[in-house]
Chains A and B, each alone.
Chain A
Amino acid sequence: MNLAVNIGKLKLKNPIICASGTFGFGDELKRLVDFSSIGAVVSKTITAEPREGNIPPRIYETDCGVINSIGLANPGVDSFIKEKLPALGRLKTNHIISLGGFSEKEYKQLVEKLDKQDKVDAFELNLSCPNLGKEKLISQSQKLSSDLVKGLRKLTKKTLIVKLTPEVTDIVKIAKAVERAGADAISMVNTYFSLAIDIETKKPYLGNVTGGYSGPAIKPMSLYRVWKVANSLRIPVVGGGGITDYKDALEFLLAGAAAVSLGTINLTDPNAAKDILSGVKAYMDKNKMKKISDLRRSFNG
């Protein structure tokens, strides 16, 4: 059985990816986690300048999901290169570095600084963080997303993955524009805008008022969007949103995702990738499938 998948030029040993913001830079978890089951780790989003992040409380749990408002807390690109990057090459997985900018200039700076680093296997452009207090996310605009990807495409030969928000009227339209602009893959979905209110204090639970919703609650909505996009594009889709076990992962792979991303489950179970991978393998074995794309082909939708 061959579990390897290609995402642009990036070859992953298996299709399990740990999503940005849920796995640090990877290195922090090396004593607890078996990286041999992880195809790639997407780093916490790096910005041009260090960021302290949003006012706490930053996390709220519902019956079936988690609302977070971290606000891209990170040490900034220079400190990342100096202090975090050297340790990453020692882990037996691929490193996709997530980039967040507040202007096209910042995104360009980030790509220029990181393009020459060989420990960076690919970039994921975070065009969809819901916690920055902005009126509109970049990936809510076809034009902004497309222009940005076109500009960055000229600066790097490394694999460019673009992470989209599900909060749009027509995600296929945005995804197609990003594909035409030169992206190697789409990653979806980022979290959904959300709010929780404490009825005793009559205040929002989160310090930043609103947050991004993730976890099991968002799975059917995310799966729908992944299925729509994966079947309209030529480039691969890294699909996820609420994956908790191997059955969820299989649904995304059947729907057409080339690889799956695990997010909130990593917070509860840092070794979730291992269980999910072995579940996927057992299912493929039972169904006499030889490669990951056989899953997609077998879908009777």
Chain B
Amino acid sequence: MQAKVKQFNVKLREVKKVKDDIFLLSFQSSHIARVAQPGNFLHLKLQSTILRRPLSIHKIENNLIYILFKVRGRGTKALAQKRKNDRLDIIGPLGNGFKIKKGENSILVGGGIGVAPLLFLAQKLVECSTFNVQRSTLENIILLGAKDRKEVVCEKEFKNLGFRIKVATEDGSKGQKGFVTDLLKKQLMAYDLELRTHVYACGPKGMFYQISKIVKQYKDLDTQLSFEQFMGCGLGVCCACVILTKAGYKKVCQDGPVFSLKEIY
């Protein structure tokens, strides 16, 4: 376990509905703000579930930690019912996050609520590129995929960070009709292959599989994927949340959640 991990009891500053069944909560923690890396997650204790729930850090602003989540099961439902000033027991930050590649174009790919950790990543990418001499030639893009327009979130936040945004929805209610991986295919074709590009993605496993097929033909292209898996302890001791990699089973909570695509596919 990394030295930075701590157990906290925080007071929620806000829990608000962003859209439909998507919620945003925030609390203050200077420790997490100082040490967290994009892709790290926090393990939240909820009174109504036996196990904790791992949720990624969505963004950090002025020591405020934000978590963006979609109500999907018992845990997220209980979390959505939390109110301002409620206490929350948190362990974190946990996991191996995204490694930031400097001096490369960044294509972020978010499938559904998989967009959550990508905003924190975008913040860090912008922070890093501020010190990068090549910045004028480099591009940051976010490709957002969703079932329908109600699932498309965070456009404004990415825009404020100077990202180009492209949207695909399965029902065509916003952006291009189709999958976010169609956007990725097009974007990669548009690039001069001499230019280094890095892909960062978070979303469902089906999306990762499609990405793996697309990026195969670009041998210099590196891709990092943030996986989701139901967890036990989140601390690397119970060995419940493993996924199969080329080097055998690896723990999503400790070896991941971010893996290089080449480790998996």
A interface residues (Cβ-Cβ under 8 A, vs B): 21-24, 28-29, 31-32, 44, 52-53, 56-62, 64-66, 68, 70, 73, 215-216, 264, 266-271
Contacts and interface: CB of A to CB of B under 8 A. Distances in A.
Contacts of B3: 31
A53 B238 contact: no
Given A32-B6, A53-B249, A59-B231, A268 B237 contact: no
B250 to A, nearest CB: 10
Contacts of A66: 50-51, 232
A42 to B, nearest CB: 12
Contact of B233 (A61, A65, A266, A271): A266
B interface, over-half SS? loop
Question: A-B pairs with the 9 shortest C-beta distances?
Answer: A24-B237, A59-B240, A267-B233, A73-B239, A58-B240, A267-B232, A70-B239, A59-B232, A56-B242
Interface of B: 1, 3, 5-7, 45, 49-52, 74, 91, 229-233, 235-244, 248-249
Contacts of A68: 232, 238, 240
A58 B52 contact: no
Contact of A29 (B74, B237, B244): B237
22 contacts: A21-B238, A22-B237, A23-B237, A31-B5, A32-B5, A32-B7, A44-B237, A52-B248, A53-B242, A56-B241, A56-B244, A59-B241, A64-B50, A68-B232, A70-B238, A70-B240, A216-B50, A267-B51, A267-B233, A268-B45, A268-B51, A271-B7
Contacts of A59: 51, 230-232, 238, 240-241
B50 A215 contact: yes
A216 to B, nearest CB: 7
B50 A57 contact: no
Given A56-B243, A58-B239, A216-B50, A31 B231 contact: no
Q: Which of B1, B45, B248 has the most CB of A within 10 A?
A: B1
Contacts of A44: 237, 239
Contacts of A53: 239, 242, 249
Given A32-B1, A58-B241, A59-B232, 5 more contacts: A28-B1, A53-B249, A56-B249, A66-B232, A73-B249
B208 to A, nearest CB: 15
Contact of B229 (A31, A56, A270): A56
